Amino acid sequence: MTEEIRAAVAAERRDQSELLAELTQEQWDAPSLCEGWRVREVVAHTTLPFHSSRGRVLLEMIRSAGRFNHASNRMARQDAARLSTDDLVRTLKANIDNPWTPPGGGLVGALSHDVIHGLDITVALGLERKVPHDRLRLVLDGMTARSVKYFGADLQGKRLEAIDLDWSFGEGEPVRRPAQELLLLVCGRRI
């Protein structure tokens, strides 16, 4: 299973690097589904582990009084201003096989990070990209009540049911949509 997840992470990063290399400057500056971030801030965030030292991340966490989202926001904005879009794409391409995982998230967390933020970009830009079902399955199967709480999604009284994948989550009134739309709902995105 570990090798399957590593292969999925690499495939997702490869797909995204190819897609990002084709974006116009207007698309790089367009809003994403991440509130307050343009596409360039999202990519600066997803590539942060590849172009920032642990020392920098620790210092930013201290400056943010331990609030990860606050530190992450500041670093994404700094890096989006400092790095060109070519730099960001090169960084992603150079790290397709990088073993980075988010703290406490493991390999599925790395895949989730890449898939979710990839959707933040493609959905906001109206691109027709569909995440392959094998990757969606791995990410969705990793979702828990704790994940929903972290993302601030209000799914109380709802049962999410994918219409294109055998997956469901929660209890209550059925909400039936394609799997990648449901993933965005779980992650608190407005679509």
Give residue-wise pLDDT tens across range 19-28.
999 999 999 9
**How many CA within 13 A on the CB side of residue 18?**
6
Helix pair angle (133-141, 106-125), 10° resolution: 120
Other C-beta atoms within 10 Å of 147: how many? 17
Would you kindly state where each structural domain of the chain is located, as residue ranges?
A: 2-106
For residues 21-44, average pLDDT: 97
pTM greater than 0.75: yes
Query: Can you tell me the mean pLDDT for 103-110?
Result: 91
Q: What is the mean pLDDT of the chain?
A: 95
pLDDT at 190: 76
Distance between CA atoms of residues 134 and 117, nearest Å: 17
Residue 105 DSSP class: T
